[in-house]
Homo-oligomer: A and B are copies of this chain.
Amino acid sequence: MSAPNIETIVSLSKRRGFVFPASDIYGGLGSSWDYGPLGVELANNIKKSWWNWLVYERDDIEGLDSSIIQNRLVWKYSGHEQTFHDPLVDCRTCKGRFRLDKLQDVQCLNHPDVHPGENKECSLTEARDFNLMFRTTMGAVSTEDDPAALAYLRPETAQGIFINFANVLNTSRRKLPFGVAQIGKAFRNEVTPGNFIFRTREFEQMEMEYFCRPEDAGRMHQEWIDGFQEWIQELGISSENLKLYEQTKDELAHYSERTVDVLYRYFPEREDEEKQWDELMGIANRTDYDLRVHSKKPEDAGGKRINPDSTEDLSYFDPQTNERLYPYVIEPAIGVNRTLLAVMMDAYTEKTNDKGETRVILKLKPELAPIKVAVLPLAKNKAEIVDMAKTIKRSLQPSMRAVYDDTGGIGKLYARQDEIGTPFCVTVDHESLVDNAVTVRDRDTWEQERIGIDVLKDYLQKRLA
């Protein structure tokens, strides 16, 4: 099974310390979220899985970590200053501000039963463009007096890769095809964030730009679409909650020739099956758009310089064909936050115990589980048992994430570990002091097995693999 709706995960997250509302003690801050002790581990494990797969296991991808704040010219030439807009309208009557293209998804502030514009009182302004980039000012100047100090928070990590194309190429001595992978925060001043961590103004991206010869782009695009579907399912997300969506010509970003989205069933409670799905990731063929627009070009056909500010030509010399070209770029882009939400939703399971009580089990893949094993003393007031449990925790820790917990009775402790997805509980009891063995309990089956302490690490490592 999976979670019946996002609210179930919101509640579990807050209760157990995966995700908290940000600035909670000050009434929050419009759909901002902080990641608690378990959420930070789950997110880190997702990032590690992505990085391992792309940068370590393959031989053709380099890592990168570029700045959030770049020179304003990056966003001028990428097209974001000009085109990264949402169309907004204001209602003079209810004073609401709405996205023109999403009027059907929201309500009039005076009449929640109708959409803005549908009531005779409604008086909508003409649409105006609202740029989604966060603005700031850099250096010791006041906001007003120096437009040269204007800077943006990056709305995507991708541009940091394009502007470093020559740096990476020169230091890594790569040949086409090759990719550059980056994980980092990005910021979009969304008009209507919401649905928990699905759409937030501050979010974390995992983006990879795969550079190839133009004639290979179509085929490689398809390979990455296939490859990422496999990777997502390896995170434990079931195929029945995933589907592909081919963007229409109208929906394509200004740089894209073809984009395929991977959708996840984030809203299983919705009656209309079509509305159950939303975007988990996009895989775009960005063509040679970005490398071209950032390239220093002496003159175009009409004798006009296209980018007089760039100091580099970001073309590539192919030693096999003796030819200079602008590589095409395939970009699989996936949000850490949306992945985490999909992983939690898909892992969510309920099970009835023999007393007829409903228990939550988060059936995370062991690779992603925040904690791999919890070591629990059956009697917290017996020093030898406590000492033995702590010693076992420390002996396991270098090989796997282990915790010691004595803050409740054993039944309660088991239930807690089930809810946060810990694959195994190890219980130290009075008998352990005699037989030098412990009870290992399986999260999913609730079956218990007696294992000697001397072989415990090997036993757990095998079952976690």
B36 adjacent to A189 (CB under 8 Å):
no
Q: A63-B41, A139-B30, A393-B59 are in contact. Are A294 and B25 (CB under 8 A)?
A: yes
What residue of chain B has the Cβ atom nearest to residue A408's Cβ?
Answer: B173
Q: In the bound complex, do residue A137 and residue B140 qualify as a contact, i.e. CB atoms below 8 Å apart?
A: no
A130:B140 contact, CB within 8 angstroms: yes
Contacts of A27 on B, CB cut-off 8 Å? 71, 309, 311
Quickly give the copy total for this chain: 2
Q: How far is the CB of A372 from chain B (nearest CB, A)?
A: 11
**A449 at the A/B interface (Cβ < 8 Å)?**
no
Q: Does A205 contact B (CB under 8 A)?
A: no
Residue of B nearest to A57 (CB): B397
Find out whether the CB atom of A71 lies under 8 angstroms from the CB atom of B28. yes
Q: A135-B136, A310-B25 are in contact. Are A167 and B20 (CB under 8 A)?
A: yes
Q: Tell me how many residues of A have a C-beta within 8 Å of chain B.
A: 85
Scan A1-44; emit 1 where CB is below 8 A from any B CB, else 0.
Answer: 00000000000000111001011111111101111110111010
Smallest CB-CB separation from A41: which chain B residue? B63
Contacts of A407 in B (CB 8 A): 173
Q: Which residues of B contact A135 (CB under 8 A)?
A: 136-137, 143
Q: Are B34 and A191 in contact (CB under 8 A)?
A: no
Contact of B29 with A71 in the complex, beta carbons under 8 Å: yes
- Cβ-based interface call for A68 (8 A): yes
Q: Is A88 an interface residue (CB 8 A)?
A: yes
- Report yes or no: A25 in contact with B202, Cβ–Cβ below 8 A: no
Shortest beta-carbon distance from A195 to chain B in Å: 17
The prevalent SS among residues of A at the interface is mixed
Closest B residue to A165 by CB, please name it. B25
Cα–Cα distance between A111 and B32 once the two chains are bound (Å)? 49
Interface residues of A in 175-216 (CB under 8 A from B): 180, 185, 187, 189, 191, 201-202
CB within 8 A of A189: which of B23, B67, B140, B160?
B140
Pairwise interchain contact B25-A311, C-beta atoms closer than 8 A? yes
Q: Mark A43-71, 1 if CB is under 8 A from B, else 0.
A: 10000000000001101001111111111
Given known A25-B311, A26-B310, contact A189–B139 (CB-CB < 8 A): yes
A28 CB contacts on chain B under 8 angstroms: 71
On whether A66 and B309 interact (CB within 8 A), knowing A140-B189, A171-B17, the answer reads: no
A143-172 Cβ-contact flags toward B at 8 Å (1 or 0):
100000001010000001001101110011
Residues of B within 8 A of A32 (CB): 67, 69-70
Closest chain B CB from A314 CB (angstroms): 8
A289 within 8 A of B: no
- CB of A297 closer than 8 Å to a CB of B: no
Closest B residue to A18 by beta carbon equals B171
Cβ distance A464 to chain B, nearest Cβ, rounded Å: 14
Q: Are A37 and B168 in contact (CB under 8 A)?
A: yes
Say yes or no for A244: interface residue by CB 8 A criterion.
no
- Residue of A17, A97, A153 most packed against chain B (CB within 10 A): A17
Least CB separation from A173: chain B residue: B407
> A74 contacts the other chain (Cβ, under 8 Å)?
yes
CB contact under 8 A between A67 and B172, given known A57-B397, A390-B59? no
A316 at the B interface (CB under 8 A): no
Chain B: which residue is nearest A406 at the CB level? B173
Known: A17-B168, A136-B134, A140-B189. A309 touches B26 (CB 8 A): yes
Query: Most chain-B CB neighbours within 10 Å: which of A27, A30, A40?
Result: A40
Is residue A73 within 8 Å, beta carbon to beta carbon, of the partner chain? yes
Contacts A16-B171, A63-B41, A134-B136 known; A160 to B26 CB distance under 8 Å? no
Tell me whether A70 and B22 are in contact in the complex, defined as CB-CB below 8 angstroms, given that A137-B134, A311-B27 are known contacts: yes
Q: Please give, as numbers and ranges, the residues of chain B lying within 8 Å of A20 by CB-CB distance.
A: 164, 167
Given contacts A56-B397, A69-B187, 11 further A-B contacts (CB under 8 A): A22-B66, A22-B67, A23-B71, A24-B311, A26-B309, A28-B71, A34-B67, A34-B164, A37-B180, A68-B185, A135-B143
Ordered nearest first, which 10 A-B pairs have the shortest CB separation? A17-B171, A23-B71, A34-B66, A37-B62, A35-B65, A40-B65, A26-B73, A26-B71, A173-B407, A25-B312
